């Protein structure tokens, strides 16, 4: 693919409908976990931060949610594994209240980092179990990035390996062959760790670890079974380091992200790369995706809302279309120069209802905020939304949403709602554990029919 300016990407064909009247989300929202509601049992370094949830509806009908119980946006084990220059950069540069990394985190005492927890509901979200921890497994991250129950009942969870938290090293990789090999062998490539449960999520164990093919791999946001019983994973990676001496486009502020389609024939024990796809000089990252009703595979990516589609089981991909209009940004921004207003899409989820409606939930930080939904009735060819610039808002608290479809075709969604503890006290209560608060909100909505005029309808949980 030729080099693009993201503004050149053609937008999706869009049927524009009127934004439905919205009053308040409060009667429909349920906070599942917070520093004061269904709080995890404290451990050393727990700061009252509960976020990055993933959800799935199990074959027995249970709703199952995983989340990170930690201390901040990135709850890594302390002392942090960070390059000295990076530490100085963060302490000098990151002054904004919402930055992912603050100077105080370098002095926080949390030797395990954030811990993965799970909760369960057996009554469609009306009541939930107390949080229970996953086993503490060495060198894995603090949250699950994807849940999948196979047709045979096996439950899999993906977690990013800890190599991805070697902060500041990847951007400073040497170009000398020997020095590069020594640093890469010590810190990269990152791993994706697969955990397995054979009892519907009551107990977990390590199942496998996958390395490469990129030096840096993020956690997959799309994992699904193929018609022939294999597994397919869509996962972002950074093939080439960034920094002095490494090739980069003039506008690059960090190493480039691409998407990889990978396949496993043995339930995740071994993986092969089917294809790599993306945009030259622009990121394709955090791709949600899966099978569409026509048998194709769709993938929606950060930060430009670029939509890719494959008609041959992930071997080749269409030229991308942007699903959200707006200026956006071509490059991901570095952690020390984060401008969160430029993202037309951040991590979301893609589900298909029993009626064959493809629904994407996500956050658009440039227009309309978080907790948005758009949908397609024709397997991604056209999309229904209230405006080309934003989707239907189902909850302004639902950042980084994860969704599943209930037996009646409605959609259950969990998300992350975070901020400075003092700023959030009036909404979610005081946080006695730390300076940053994050809660896990849950919502339920349905897609209206074309005869009803399109749009979404908020629904109560547990009904």
The pLDDT tens digits for 217-266 are: 999 999 999 999 999 999 999 999 988 899 876 666 778 899 999 999 99
Q: How many residues in total does the chain contain? A: 463
pLDDT above 90 covers a percentage of the chain that reads: 71
Q: Check residue 463 and give its pLDDT.
A: 78
Residue 455 has pLDDT above 90, yes or no: yes
pLDDT band for 18, please (50, 70, 90 cuts).
very low
User: Domain residues for 291?
Assistant: 6-459
Q: Check residue 270 and give its pLDDT.
A: 97
Q: Can you tell me the distance from the alpha carbon of 460 to that of 446, in angstroms, rounded to the nearest whole number?
A: 11
Name the more confident of 122 and 342. Answer: 122
Q: Can you tell me the distance from the alpha carbon of 323 to that of 385, in angstroms, rounded to the nearest whole number?
A: 10
Q: Is 23 inside a domain boundary?
A: yes
In total, how many domains does the chain have? 1
Q: Is 21 inside a domain boundary?
A: yes
Q: Check residue 330 and give its pLDDT.
A: 47
Q: What is the 3-state secondary structure (H, E, C) of the chain?
A: CCCCCHHHCCECEEEECCCCCCCCCCCCCEEEECCCCCCCCCCCCCCCEEEEEEEEECCCCCEEEEEEEECCCCCCCCCCCECHHHHHHHHHHCCCCCCCCCHHHHHCCCCCCCEEEEEEECCCCCCCCCCEECCCCCCEEEEEEEEEECCCCCEEEEEEEHHHHCECCHHHCCCCHHHHHHHHHHHCCCEEEEEEECCCCCCCEEEEEEECCCCEECCCCEEEECCCCCEEEEEEEECCCCCCCCCCCCCCCCCCCEEEEEEECCCCCCCEEEEEECECCECCEEEEEEECCCCCEEEEEECCCEEEEECCCCCCCCCCEECCCCCCCCCCCCHHHCCHHHCCCEEEEEEECCCCCEEEEEEECCCCEEEEEEEECCCCCEEEECECCECEECCCCCEEEEEEECCCCCEEEEEEEEEEHHHHHHHHCCCCCCCEEEEEEEEEEEECCCCCCCCEEEECCCC
Top-ranked range on mean pLDDT: pick from 48-57, 86-95, 279-288: 48-57
Establish whether the linkage from the previous residue to 79 is cis, with ω within 30° of 0. yes
Q: Is 207 inside a domain boundary?
A: yes
Q: Is 353 inside a domain boundary?
A: yes
Find the CATH number of the domain harbouring 351. Answer: 2.120.10.10
Which two tokens mark 351?
Answer: 């589900």
Q: Check residue 399 and give its pLDDT.
A: 95
Q: Check residue 50 and give its pLDDT.
A: 98
Q: Is 418 inside a domain boundary?
A: yes
Q: Check residue 171 and give its pLDDT.
A: 86
Residue 201 has pLDDT above 90, yes or no: yes
Query: Worst-scoring range by mean pLDDT, 13-22, 39-48, 159-168, 368-377?
Result: 13-22
Residue 333 has pLDDT above 50, yes or no: no
Q: Check residue 255 and give its pLDDT.
A: 86
Residue 298 has pLDDT above 60, yes or no: yes
Q: Is 383 inside a domain boundary?
A: yes
Measured at the CA of 94, the angle between CA 91 and CA 96, to 5 degrees, comes to 140
Q: Is there a contact between 400 and 363 (Cβ–Cβ < 8 Å)?
A: yes
Q: Is 1 inside a domain boundary?
A: no
pLDDT band for 92, please (50, 70, 90 cuts).
confident
Establish whether the linkage from the previous residue to 189 is cis, with ω within 30° of 0. yes
Residue 419 has pLDDT above 80, yes or no: yes
Measured at the CA of 429, the angle between CA 426 and CA 434, to 5 degrees, comes to 115
Q: Can you tell me the distance from the alpha carbon of 98 to that of 175, in angstroms, rounded to the nearest whole number?
A: 34
- What are the distances in angstroms from CA 260 to CA 235, 236, 284, 287? 5, 6, 10, 10
Q: Is 306 inside a domain boundary?
A: yes
Taken in order 175, 181, 187, 189, the sign of the CA dihedral is: positive
Q: Can you tell me the distance from the alpha carbon of 432 to that of 429, in angstroms, rounded to the nearest whole number?
A: 9
């Amino acid at each position: 693919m030729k080099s693009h300016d993201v503004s050149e990407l053609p937008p999706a064909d869009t049927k524009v409908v009127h934004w439905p009247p919205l009053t308040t989300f409060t009667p429909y929202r349920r906070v599942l976990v917070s520093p004061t509601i269904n709080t995890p049992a404290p451990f050393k370094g727990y700061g009252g931060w509960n976020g990055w949830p993933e959800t799935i509806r199990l074959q027995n009908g249970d709703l199952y949610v995983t989340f990170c119980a930690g201390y901040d946006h990135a709850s890594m084990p302390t002392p942090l594994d960070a390059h000295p220059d990076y530490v100085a950069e963060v302490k000098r540069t990151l002054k904004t209240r919402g930055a992912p990394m603050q100077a105080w985190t370098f002095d926080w005492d949390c030797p395990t980092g954030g811990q993965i927890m799970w909760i369960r509901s057996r009554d469609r979200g009306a009541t939930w179990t107390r949080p229970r921890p996953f086993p503490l497994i060495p060198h894995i991250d603090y949250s699950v990035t994807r849940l999948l129950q196979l047709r045979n009942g096996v439950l899999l969870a993906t977690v990013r390996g800890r190599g991805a938290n070697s902060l500041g090293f990847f951007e400073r990789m040497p170009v000398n062959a020997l020095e590069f090999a020594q640093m890469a062998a010590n810190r990269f490539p990152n791993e994706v760790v697969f955990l397995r449960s054979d009892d519907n999520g009551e107990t977990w164990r390590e199942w496998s670890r996958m390395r490469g093919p990129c030096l840096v791999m993020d956690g997959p946001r799309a994992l699904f079974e193929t018609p022939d019983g294999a597994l397919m994973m869509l996962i972002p990676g950074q093939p080439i380091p960034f920094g002095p001496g490494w090739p980069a486009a003039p506008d690059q502020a960090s190493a480039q992200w691409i998407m990889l389609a990978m396949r496993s024939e043995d339930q995740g024990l071994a993986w092969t790369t089917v294809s790599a796809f993306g945009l030259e000089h622009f990121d394709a990252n955090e791709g949600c995706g899966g099978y569409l009703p026509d048998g194709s595979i769709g993938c929606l990516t950060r930060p430009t809302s670029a939509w890719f589609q494959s008609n041959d089981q992930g071997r080749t991909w269409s030229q991308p279309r942007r699903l959200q209009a707006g200026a956006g940004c071509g490059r991901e921004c570095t952690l020390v120069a984060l401008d969160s207003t430029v993202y037309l899409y951040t991590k979301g989820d893609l589900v298909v209802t029993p009626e064959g409606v493809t629904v994407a939930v996500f956050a658009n930080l440039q227009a309309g905020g978080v907790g948005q939904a758009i949908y397609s009735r024709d397997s991604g060819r056209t999309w229904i939304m209230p405006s080309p610039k934003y989707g239907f808002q189902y909850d302004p608290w639902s950042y980084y949403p994860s969704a599943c479809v209930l037996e009646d075709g409605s959609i259950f969604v969990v998300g992350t709602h975070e901020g400075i503890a003092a700023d959030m006290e009036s909404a979610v209560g005081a946080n006695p554990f730390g300076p940053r608060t994050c809660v896990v909100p849950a919502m339920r909505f349905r897609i209206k029919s074309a005869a009803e005029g399109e749009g979404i309808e908020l629904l109560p949980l547990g009904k």
